[in-house]
């Protein structure tokens, strides 16, 4: 079994992962805008891009805590950049990182492959939903108004839809991030 102690190389990889994640997070705002043009119910399908920091870090470092720290560092750097999320990015990073880390924990910290990335990405969607409920409660009213026009009239239905869309988006982008990180690691 590989050592669970962090090395200087692990911290360097964490720094690179956080910087790469911040760039992805910055670009994700433009993807969010594209999905928003389709309609509010399409937005959650793009949020998986914001979960990739945890997957990249965990896949490269392969140690407990890497998913949480990668997501958090990416969110902190994103908060420093001029994005719309500002400081709330850190709140999202904490919650998404905790839930992504849970995915690797459930796998016993023994899998760092594409499937693990998809599981961690899907679980990070739970963190995103919790952060959205806490930070932007009014978004659910707006989405609920639109949702009633397409048959999702209750707030409960909106939350279930949002969670399912987050999980699908997180699993897709999580698998892609894990594949990219594995490829980069060699």
For residue 63, the 8-state DSSP code is: S
Confidence check: pLDDT of 76 > 60: yes
Tokens found for residue 79: 């908060």
- The arithmetic mean of pLDDT across residues 111-140, rounded, is 89
Domain of residue 159, residue span: 8-185
Round the average pLDDT of the chain to a whole number and report it.
89
- 20 closest CA partner among 47, 65, 56: 56
Query: Does residue 3 lie within any of the structural domains?
Result: no
More confident residue, 85 or 142: 85
Query: Does residue 1 lie within any of the structural domains?
Result: no
Confidence check: pLDDT of 142 > 60: no
With H, G, I as helix, E, B as strand and everything else as coil, classify residue 33: helix
Query: Does residue 87 lie within any of the structural domains?
Result: yes
Confidence check: pLDDT of 139 > 70: no
> What is the dihedral sign for C-alpha 176, 182, 185, 186?
negative
User: How much is the pLDDT for 157?
Assistant: 74
Query: Does residue 2 lie within any of the structural domains?
Result: no
Query: Does residue 62 lie within any of the structural domains?
Result: yes
Query: What gap in Å lies between CA 155 and CA 48, rounded to an integer?
Result: 22
Number of domains in the chain: 1
More confident residue, 86 or 3: 86
């Amino acid at each position: 079994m590989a050592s669970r102690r962090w090395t200087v190389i692990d911290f360097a990889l964490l720094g690179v992962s956080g910087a790469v994640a911040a760039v992805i997070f910055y670009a994700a705002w433009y993807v969010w805008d594209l999905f928003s043009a389709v309609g509010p119910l399409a937005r959650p399908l793009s949020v998986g891009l914001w979960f990739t920091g945890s997957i990249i870090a965990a896949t490269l470092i392969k140690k407990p805590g890497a998913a949480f720290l990668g997501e958090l560092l990416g969110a902190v750097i994103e908060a420093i950049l001029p994005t719309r999320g500002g400081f709330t990015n850190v709140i999202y990073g904490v919650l998404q990182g905790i839930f992504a880390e849970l995915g690797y924990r459930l796998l016993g910290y023994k899998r760092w492959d594409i499937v693990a990335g998809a599981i961690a990405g899907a679980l990070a969607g739970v963190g995103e939903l919790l952060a959205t409920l806490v930070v932007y409660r009014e978004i659910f009213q707006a989405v609920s108004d639109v949702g009633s026009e397409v048959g999702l009239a209750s707030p409960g239905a909106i939350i279930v839809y949002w969670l399912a869309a987050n999980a699908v988006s997180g699993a897709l982008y999580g698998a892609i991030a894990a594949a990219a990180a594995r490829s980069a690691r060699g």
